[in-house]
A and B are shown apart, each in its own frame.
Chain A
Amino acid sequence: MKNDQKTRRILSIALIALVGIVLFLCNQYLDSYQLRIINLCGIYITLGLSLNLIYGFTGLFSLGHAGFMAVGAYTTALLTMPPQLKQMNFFLEPIVPWLANVEVGFFWALIIAGSITGLIGFLIGAPVLKLRDDYLAIATLGFSEIIRIVFTNLQNVTNGPLGLKGLPPYTTIWWSWGFALVSILFMAYLFKGSYGRAFIAIREDEIAAEAMGINIFRHKILSFTIGSFMAGIGGGLLAHLMGTIDPLMFRFLLTFNILLIVVLGGMGSISGTVISAIVVTVSMEYLRFLDGPMNFLIFKTDGIPGMRMVIFSLLLMIVILFFQRGLMGSKELSWDFILGPKDKTLNLPEEE
C-alpha cells in the first residue's frame, strides 16, 4: 500500500519532467505563433481551474471572471511598466504620481496582482455570496461590468479606453506553465484534503453541509477569494503575453471562453479542465479558417467573423445534450483511474 503511493508519486514526478522536456523542446524549435498558443494553453489552464474551483467544485455560479482578470492584468501591467513607457502611454492625462515610478519584478507583480484581485473578490463576495444560482450569476456579471466601466473611466490610472500598449513580453512558456503546474498541484492537494471535501459538500447540498457544522458563508468566501486570486494571476500573465490591454478585452466573451473550458472539461474535474483548456485553446486558433472565406461548392461566403464561436456553441450544446456533466464529469484522470484503484481497504495517510 505504501509502495503503491510511492509508485504514484514517482509517476507524477516523471510526468511533470516529461511535460518540462516537451515544453523545452517546444521553446527551442517552434515559431513564435505556435509558442504563443502553447503559452495561451498554460494560462487558460490556470484560468479554467480558477473558475472550476468557484463553479465546478463549490457550486457558485459566478460570471465575473473577466472582471477579475482585468484587475489582475492592469495591476501587473502598471507594476511592471518602466516609467518612460508609462509616460509614453499616458499622453492624454498624466498617470497618478504614486504609480508613475513604481517598477517591480514580474513575479512579485503577479503575486501582488493576485492578492489585489483576491481582495476585490473578497469584497464583492461578501455581499453577493448570500445569493444563489442565477441571482449570483447576474450579480457577479454586473460587478464584472462595473469593474470594466470603472477601468474605462479612470483615465489617470488605467489610461481609460486607450489601454496600455507595449507591455514588456515577460510571459514565457516557463511562467505560464509554471503557474499552471502550481494551480494544478494546489487544486489536487486542496481536493484531497478536508477543505476540498467541505467545498464539494456545499455544492452537493448546502443545507446538509451547514447541518454538518460547516460555516457555509466562510467557505464560499474562501473559495471565491482563492478563485479570484488565481484569475488575477491568469489575467496578469495574459496581459504580458498580449502586450496590449484595454477594457474592451475584458467583456463577457472572455468569461464565456473560460466557462466553456470548465463546462466542456467537466465541472469538478481538474484533469478535465486541463484537457479542455488545451483542446479549446488550440482549436480556437486552428479553426480560424472558419472565419475566412469558404467555398461550399453550391455557395461561397467571403468570410464571416465569429464563425468559430458558432462551432464552439454547437459543441457546447452537443456536450450538454450527450454528456451532461462534461467530458470527464467529476471524475479525474488520475493514476487510480489508469492503474486501477488502490486496494479497497482503508488508506491512512503516511505518518511523518
Chain B
Amino acid sequence: MYILRTENVTMKFGGLVAVSDFNLEIKHNEIVGLIGPNGAGKTTAFNIITGQYTPTEGFVFFNNEDITTCSPYEITRLGIARTFQNIRLFKDMTVLDNVLVGNHLRLRSPLLSSVLRSPRYRKEERHMIQKSFNLLRDLGLDDVLYEKAYSLPYGKQRRLEIARALATDPKVILLDEPAAGMNPQESIELMNFIHEIREKFDLTILLIEHTMQVVMGVCERIYVLDHGVTIAQGTPEEIQNNPKVIEAYLGVN
C-alpha cells in the first residue's frame, strides 16, 4: 500500500520530453530523495504531483485516489504540501500571517462571519493562531512572529516555508531543494530537522536535493532522473555505487 504513487507519468512540452515513464512509489512515513543533474525533470515531476501540470500521459495516485487532474489547491486540501526551489513566501506579510494563510483552507466560517467576528469564527481564529504559534515555536521561529517575511535571514525563510506548508496539515510534504544556499553546518541542522518533523507530524517526505551530504544522510530511498528518464532507484549505498548514476553525474571518458 503506497501513500503516493505515479504510474507511467510522461510530460511533454512541445517536442521536449521533460519526464518520461516516471514511476514513483512511496510508502507511509518514508523519506525519499529525487536527484539528478540540472534539467533532469525533478521539479517538473514535483509540479505534476502537486497539480501545477497535468501530465501528458500517466496517473498520479494519493492513497489510491486518482489526483492526476486535480488543481493544486485541491491537492493541498487532500494532504500534499510543498515548498519551492526559489523561496515563495508572502514577503510583505508577517511570519505569523504567513503561517496563518496556511490554515485558511481549513476555515469553515464564511466571509461575512469573519468580518462580523461571529463566535464560531472567533473560535476558529483562536484555534488557528494557537496552532500556528505552536508550529512556529516547534520550528524555532517564535522570536520573529511579527517580523515581515522578507526581513528574515535565508535559513529562517526556508524554515518558514516549511512551517507554512505544515500548517496545511499535510500527510506528504514535498521539499524542493531545502538545503539550497545553506552552509555545511546548516545542512546538518536541516537533516536533523527533517527527521524531527517526520516523527512529530507523522509525515511522508519526498525531497529534491543537490547536496549529496543531505541526500545520502537523510533519504531512505533515492530515485535518480536524467533527461527525464529514471536511470536508477534504491538505497543510498546502491545509488552511490551505481555506474549509470556515476556516469550521469561525472560523464564518461
Contacts and interface: CB of A to CB of B under 8 A. Distances in A.
A314 interface: no
11 contacts: A190-B115, A193-B115, A194-B104, A194-B114, A194-B125, A197-B101, A198-B104, A204-B91, A210-B73, A211-B76, A212-B105
Contact of A330 (B88, B92, B107, B168): B92
A339 interface: no
B81 A211 contact: yes
Interface of A is mostly: helix
A116 to B, nearest CB: 19
Contacts of B81: 211
B133 interface: yes
A209 interface: yes
Interface residues of B, number: 45
Contacts of B165: 211
Contacts of A349: 122, 125-126, 129
A216 interface: yes
A194 B50 CA distance: 24
Contact of B76 (A186, A200, A201, A212): A212
A208 B88 CA distance: 6
Interface of B: 50, 52, 71-73, 76-77, 81-82, 84, 88-93, 97, 100-105, 107, 111, 114-117, 119, 121-122, 124-126, 128-130, 133, 145-146, 164-165, 167-168
Contact of A211 (B72, B104, B114, B115): B72
Given A194-B128, A197-B93, A197-B97, A215 B133 contact: no
Interface string A322-352: 0000000010000000000100101011111
A208 to B, nearest CB: 4
A214 interface: yes
Contacts of A341: 146
B129 A212 contact: no
A107 interface: no
Given A210-B73, A341-B146, A194 B100 contact: yes
A213 interface: yes
A211 B126 contact: no
